[in-house]
Amino acid sequence: MTCHPDMECIAGLLEQARRIAIDYYRLTGKPLGITGEVGEYEAARLLGLDLAVAREAGYDATDRAGRRLQIKARSIPRTKKLTGQRLGSIDLAKPWDAVLLVLMDELFEPVMIFEADRAAIEAALLRPGSKARNERGALAITKFRSIGRQVWPAP
């Protein structure tokens, strides 16, 4: 895997961040905000992706075929339902080929990863109806799962 020169170092730092974020949530009831970074790392580690440089417009990683992938992540306790949960904004004006959704539990451990291609996402986002979906590019997790496919663990 070539996603970062020192994946072991990053893994160690993210493990520390996970513990701090878990403790912070237990104390305050508020998330610390590391979900996206952990999700990107886990997608790269589990799927063998190359992470893009920080703040790359439109995508977070590339795969071996050179596809540009946006990575969205959500940490949802196993006891909660996915109903009503949404992804972060997906910008159709930016360059990307597919979106990965990394679902993690309350300990920031990956549970499942889904992938949806650009055509399916564009169709879902441009469908008339929801202001959140149409104006902010926010898809419901259940919708994303229905238009995508599970890529990890292998179904």
Q: What is the pLDDT of residues 56-73, one digit of tens each?
A: 889 999 999 999 999 999
pLDDT value at residue 9: 83
- 7-152: what fold? PvuII Endonuclease; Chain A (3.40.210)
Helix (H, G, I), strand (E, B) or coil at 88: coil
pLDDT value at residue 86: 87
Percent of the chain with pLDDT over 70: 92
- For 48-60, b where at least 16 C-beta lie within 10 A, e where not — what string? ebebbeeebebbb
Average per-residue pLDDT for the chain:
89
Would the pLDDT of 132 be above 90?
A: no
pLDDT value at residue 85: 85
Would the pLDDT of 3 be above 70?
A: no
CA distance from start to end of the chain = 22
Least confident among 29-38, 63-72, 80-89, 94-103? 80-89
CA-based nearest residue to 103, from 134, 53, 59, 142: 142
Q: How far apart are CA 148 and CA 60, in angstroms?
A: 18
Q: Tokens 């979900």: give the residue.
A: 35
pTM: 0.89
What is the mean predicted confidence (pLDDT) over 13-26? 94
DSSP H helices, the chain, are: 7-28, 35-47, 118-126, 131-136, 141-147
Q: How far apart are CA 44 and CA 42, in angstroms?
A: 5
